[in-house]
Amino acid sequence: MSDQTPYDAATAAAARLAELTGVVRHDVALVLGSGWLPAVDALGEATAEIDTTDLPGFSAAAVAGHSGKIRSIRCTDSEGSERNLLVFLSRTHFYEGKGVAAVVHPIRTAAAAGCAAIVLTNGCGGLKQGWQPGQPVLISDHINLTGTSPIVGANFVDLTDLYSPRLRAMCREIDPSLDEGVYVQFPGPHYETPAEVRMAGVLGGQLVGMSTTLEAIAAREAGMEILGISLVTNLAAGLSGEPLNHEEVLEAGKAAASRMGGLLSQVVSKI
Ligand code: 8IG
């Protein structure tokens, strides 16, 4: 089906998702980044869990500690109504080389499944003095250094207030100690050099990572309200005096799981 658009592919994936989960419509989507997996159990009981590869258009997870699963969770919102969460326990990264359409296919599938809002989480390096590994930070805006877009053609999508001021305020009501920062997406999969980290700072960034911006753009194109939360899992390269490693990322997630789980479950009930 070479003439199938990415939007058609997402509609097909959403239809299969509804069949496999028995949930006709999902309300809020979450994408869990590095270190966020331990927080998922706080969201509620799973109605269903499927492999991403059970849905058309998804490819297998590629990173240790990333699980290629999609969980459907039923919870109650702050007014007592039932709400269905669509949780992607992993993502496809730009650095996997599968193309931008593959990176944002889960986002478009969530939109096609009915989600009006999406929570994009990630693990990242932090630049700001005083930030500690294990600290969640709200994404206020982004700088996309991948040099590409998920949107093809003359569709000039506006990215003002891409990361919803309403949802950020909601998070700060839940946890007034939350800070926020500008997220800079590098292509990866290598981490930045210390000089590139300094460049990100000069450009106005405080968070450096390898995901999220392309997904946020696709989510905005699809009309979803977007919340972005980074878990600072490590100080950005050159700032700590130690080399970076993936294990510290997973450790930071475990250590911060209850704070992040509490934040996520409270905010999704209020969205
Ligand atoms: I977790 O320091 C994680 N992902 N680019 N830099 C980049 N990506 C990351 C980092 C980091 N930490």
How far is the C-alpha of 21 from the C-alpha of 105, rounded, in Å?
18
Nearest CA to ligand 1 atom 3: 124
CATH superfamily placement of domain 6-270: Nucleoside phosphorylase domain (3.40.50.1580)
> Is 96 among the catalytic positions?
no
DSSP output for 73-97: EEEE-TTS-EEEEEEESS---GGG-
CA distance linking residue 228 with residue 248, whole number of Å: 22
Contacts of 123 by beta carbon, 8 Å cutoff, 6+ apart: 33, 34, 35, 36, 209, 230, 231, 233, 249, 252, 253
pLDDT at 66 over 60: no
Phi and psi at residue 227, in whole multiples of 5°? -115, 130
Annotated catalytic residue, options 49, 173, 180, 192: 192
**H helical segments located in the chain:** 6-21, 100-112, 165-174, 194-202, 213-221, 246-270
Residue 111 CB neighbours (<10 A): 24
Higher pLDDT, 105 or 60: 105
92 lines ligand 1 (CB under 6 A): no
The whole-number average pLDDT for the span 119-145 is 95
pLDDT category at 62 given cuts 50, 70, 90 is: low
pLDDT digits (tens, 9 = 90+) for 116-131: 999 999 999 999 999 9
Residue with tokens 């980290």: 197
Q: Does the pTM of the predicted model rise above 0.85?
A: yes
Position 64 pLDDT exceeds 90: no
Q: How far apart are the first and last CA of the chain?
A: 37
**107 neighbors 220 (Cβ within 8 angstroms):** no
Is pLDDT above 90 for 18? yes
Q: Is 131's C-beta closer than 6 angstroms to any atom of ligand 1?
A: no
Give the Å distance between the CA of 153 and the centre of ligand 1.
Answer: 31
- Which atom from ligand 1 is nearest to the alpha carbon of 237? 2
What are the boundaries of each domain within the chain?
Answer: 6-270
Pocket flag, ligand 1, residue 126 (CB < 6 Å):
no
